[in-house]
Amino acid sequence: MTLAKSEYPVKKILKRDGRIVDFDATRIREAIRKAMVSVNKYDEKLLDTIVEHVLLLIAEKFGAEKIPHVEDVQDIVELSLVKFDQYEVAKAYILYRREREKIRREKMRILEKDYLDEVDKKFSLNALRLMSSRYLLRGENGKFKEGPKQLFQRVAALIVIPDLLYDPRIFSKQNALTKHPIEDFDPELWAGKIGLGRKENGDYEFRWNKWHLMHMKRLYDNLNEQGLMKVSWSEFFNMLLNGEFENHFQDYIDYYNLMVDKKFMPNSPTLFNAGARLGQLSACFVLPIEDNIESIMKSATEAAIIFKSGGGIGINYSKLRPEGDVVFSTSGVASGPVTFMRIIDTVTEVVKQGGKRRGANMGILEIWHPDIEKFVRGKEKEGMLENFNISVLIEPKFWEHLEKNKPYPLINPRTGQEWGSINPSYIFNLIAEMAWKTADPGVIFLDNINRRNVLRKALGDIRCTNPCGEEPLYEYEPCNLGSINLHAFVKRTEKGAEIDWEELARVVKITYRFLDNVIDVNSYPLKEIERMAKLTRRIGLGIMGLADMLMALRVPYNSEEGFQLMSRIAEFVAWHAYKSSIERAEERGPFPLYWQSTYPEGELPLEGYYRREAWTMDWDEIVKEIKKKGIRNAFLMSIAPTGSISMLVDTSSGLEPVFALVYEKHVTVGVFHYIDPEFERYLRESGLYSEEIIKKVAQNGGSIQELEEFPENAREIFVVAYDIPWWDHIRAQYHVGLWVDAAVSKTINMPHWVSVEDVKNSFLFAYRLGLKGITIYRDASKSTQVLVTPTQRSNRYVSITRNKTPELMESLGIKISHPVYAPTEVKEPKRPLTKISVTEDQAAKKSTYETCPECKSTNLLWQEGCVRCLDCGWTGCIVS
């Protein structure tokens, strides 16, 4: 007997958590298919037959009246597999069922729950461990106040508020209206009593808490102060009570689904603080510092306030007079900028961010400063400036002196007079040597940062960045970041995998609206920061999951096809972000400095716009629309570190290649092998999946290079960070960076055997390509490396993908030096990756350990300028 799909009497199923949901036969089919694939027994005709039999048995047993439990259905599946003599498949299905039950129990333990809701089930154990340790709010008793579902509801409920207050029924972008009188409002009186998504019984799908309502009133008052509100606060609130803004419930659902469907995550401070007490949603800030003690101490105070709120800072210390210069007020001698950096370092050490972690800093000194050598050596000794990334800002004139090998003048910033000079080859070599030894300093290129800066005419040059370098910022300017998970837009078809461009365009538009709304509901730590945030309305939309997407598409990361696809994806995201910003400018008005920028003159802050041969989108249309309607945000794109948020969505970080295809992961219940999801899919589809091969890849440093079990095309596609030559890491940063108006956070991984000459060449290659800055990390320069790949073991790149990089380097006058060891390398003790304080009393002693401060694991990774624990997800980065 065969039943048509519409004739199956069973329409509902009882879940383990007690919910009754729609019966979905495709879930049964997918579970059996996976079991077949796992034992290399996939047979589509047989699969259809077994599924038909299972559904018939369910229909006969339960009919139209009874509702089966999910366990009943699974029992029928097992019996059906045995009936058709599929014993191996049945065994795989049973084992899978048991494994799922173990995972369910572990999830409930982590979340301290006795059931799992639909959101809990969507996220992996890795993600839930990270959420529970870092993101979920707890009460004073230490118990969770929320689960993952409530976390995303809390965030979305805040982000939707600007959509209500910019509604054209109550908002006018022309500031010619009369201001309404200020009215009192107590958020606590209405907390938990009003929301959106009104049901028939009068309840709401979500309700705002007092922090949400406080931001609602604050935004109303801000817009009212500008004369932009058509109605009074009371009129607006009555409209809200009467359900007149229910049309914006869909906006809330859009923001909520972005995160729950793992297509986008905002930066960590937004997840921590949206709809919570602190309310500070930005990750990074830049502070000014002037050449007087009052300004220095003011900067230290402001840094402490920012660290407390959950942010990190960048400071350019070049205005401070050099060591040995005169101090007229005391008849003393100046101690120089590096000494004052230690003050900020100490402040960072003692002020925890919102009770969660310490802050982070970027310290910048311009290469003409007399203390440049001391600065470059600032982290040479272990324990110095532990809470800093440091970078040298290089001006164009320096390259001229380096090329001609003529003395480079050093300038006293106090007087503007020459203080002396330095051999440019010596200081350039020293920068490279220190980066080779300690991974600091990085280098930033002043001309490349400002070449396409549309605010240069209004505000001058940008001379500083945030802690990880992906956001060049003006003084007091913050950055609001979020990243799209590209891996979520891989569409599987009969022909293979492809990019779902239509869905990606839809999601870019929603993520843009999300990030632009953040600006309006943010609790800024300083008034000056709020002013700059709203003057430029800078956002930083980025990406993660690029490496996993490329592997899914079977495109080698460092092939010409890979580089071109990187460029195309970045361009596509940028184009739709710019298009969305133009549309919002038409609705809400352009950013306040628009008319002082060079946008009206037809300029864009994207290098790719000036490379017409690289276009795959119509950028003439974008420029034309900007001139006609304006643009809402001065800058829109930034590729930030995504260490933690990429772990939440189980994908690769930022635009980085994967660090390891397989590695040992240590958790509370033991040790298991973590396998990259795309690599696991390949193993199963190619029939290579086995415990033996997984262990072999893990023992090979997580790489498949030089493993004879894998064909050559697989070794080209499934590459890890140390399989890729450093020059191709730079190419990847370049191609993505063409379409990024801020900057790109990327680690240029180098094996331990590279030379200082390689580091110098990487700096030159990056500069001549037009990169805005570069950070190199030579293996073992900050820690004992846990994973050793064939490239590291063999002292040579064992896999070099054929591409055009060598010819490009040659055309720019860059040579690839042969790998050499430095004589001091063997004797030099390996530096610890991070420092942790065992107890408060020992904090001052700064005891050093090569372990994660959260879980004590030694599985530590240096990526995107940040330290990250592969086991628990802890990171020293305030962004990700």
What's the angle, vertex CA 792, arms to CA 444 and CA 655, rounded to 5? 45
Provide the residue type at 485 as one letter: N
Q: Quote the tokens at residue 465.
A: 């960045």
Provide the residue type at 540 as one letter: G
What's the angle, vertex CA 344, arms to CA 376 and CA 421, rounded to 5? 30
Please state, in angstroms and rounded to a whole number, the distance separating the CA atoms of residues 529 and 534: 9
Catalytic-residue membership of 625? no
Burial of residue 632 (CB within 10 Å: 0-12, 13-18, 19+) is buried
Catalytic-residue membership of 470? yes
SS3 readout for 488-536? HHEEEECCEEEECHHHHHHHHHHHHHHHHHHHHCCCCCCHHHHHHHHHH
Q: Cα(first)–Cα(last) distance of the chain, in Å?
A: 56
The DSSP secondary structure of 104-136, one letter per residue, reads: HHHHHHHHT-SS--HHHHHS-HHHHHHIIIIIS
From 126, 273, 448, 466, the catalytic residue: 466
Place of tokens 């569409």: 491
Cβ–Cβ contacts within 10 Å for residue 482, how many?
Answer: 25
Please state, in angstroms and rounded to a whole number, the distance separating the CA atoms of residues 444 and 220: 40
From 316, 361, 448, 468, the catalytic residue: 468
* CB half-sphere exposure, 236, CA atoms < 13 A: 25
Q: Is cis: bond before 711, omega within 30 of 0?
A: no
From 470, 475, 664, 678, the catalytic residue: 470
Please state, in angstroms and rounded to a whole number, the distance separating the CA atoms of residues 412 and 872: 47
Catalytic-residue membership of 464? no
Question: Where are the extended beta strands (E) located within 295-394?
Answer: 312-316, 326-327, 332-333, 352-353, 357-358, 361-366, 388-394
The DSSP secondary structure of 369-416, one letter per residue, reads: STTHHHHHTTTTSTTTTTTEEEEEEE-HHHHHHHHHT-PEEEE-TTT-
Parallel, antiparallel or unpaired: strands 408-411 and 418-422: antiparallel
Closest CA to 783 of 847, 833, 853, 724: 833
- Positions marked active-site: 466, 468, 470
